[in-house]
Amino acid sequence: MNGRSWKALMVGSVLLNVFLLGAIAGGAWRWFAARGATETQVLSQAQTPPAPRVALRFATSGLTPERQQQFLDALRAARREGRDDARAAREDRREVLDLLAAPQLDRAALDAALAHTREADSALRAKVESGVADYAATLTPDERLKFADGLKRSGQWRLPASRKAARAASTASEAGAAN
């Protein structure tokens, strides 16, 4: 090997080492930054209350895990039965959007598309509500009471925050009057 090839080899080695050191330093920086972000998130989550779980599937949170699974199965079955209605509602919503975006508004077609969307949504909702009612029929009175309380917090039957506050205030005043 002559002197020139040694120089090229040394320059290549230096460049490779600089690249590797940069990669290691960058990886370490990302690791420490991600670790610090996670610790910050954990601290902030400990200071803030958890977000309310308002989906219908959380209505059974006060019941046993077996009952919760039965409810999830009933919901899945009802939604599976209503899959065609959900698809029809989505397609009708797209049609509504297309009609609204058209240069000339066809009010009759828009009203018809909205009516079809409402019908499909109502059919899907009826199937889900029927599944909820079928599930409720299998519960004991105590479980049904817990389920009703869960529905007040979750799903389409949940009470708005203002009504919850009013109901809590009236319950507290009734309890105070009883004492």
Give one DSSP letter per residue of 58-93, joined into a string: GGGTTS-HHHHHHHHHHHHHHHHHTHHHHHHHHHHH
* Cα(80)–Cα(38) distance, integer angstroms: 38
The reported pLDDT for the residue numbered 51 is: 58
Domain-embedded: residue 168: no
Number of domains into which the chain is organized: 1
Q: Report if residue 135 sits inside a domain.
A: yes
List b or e across 111-142, with b for residues whose CB sees 16 or more CB atoms inside 10 angstroms.
Answer: eebeebbeebbebbeebbeebbeebeeebeee
- 3 within a domain of the structure (yes/no): no
Q: What is the pLDDT of residue 164?
A: 55
In this prediction, residue 154 carries a pLDDT of: 76
Structural domain includes residue 25: no
Task: Establish if 178 belongs to a structural domain.
Answer: no
Q: Do the beta carbons of residue 74 and residue 131 sit within 8 Å? A: yes
Residue 115 has a pLDDT of 93
Q: What pLDDT sits at residue 90?
A: 92
Cα four-point dihedral sign 13, 19, 24, 25: positive
d(CA 80, CA 90): 15
Q: What is the pLDDT of residue 53?
A: 64
pLDDT in tens, the chain (179 residues): 677 888 888 899 999 999 999 999 998 888 888 877 665 555 555 566 665 666 777 888 888 889 889 988 988 898 889 899 999 999 999 999 999 999 998 999 999 999 999 999 999 888 888 888 898 899 899 998 888 888 887 777 666 666 555 565 665 555 555 55
Residue 46 has a pLDDT of 55
Evaluate whether residue 113 is within a structural domain: yes
CATH number at residue 150: 1.20.120
The answer to whether residue 61 is domain-embedded is no
Q: Is 46 domain-assigned?
A: no
For residue 133, the enclosing domain spans: 83-158
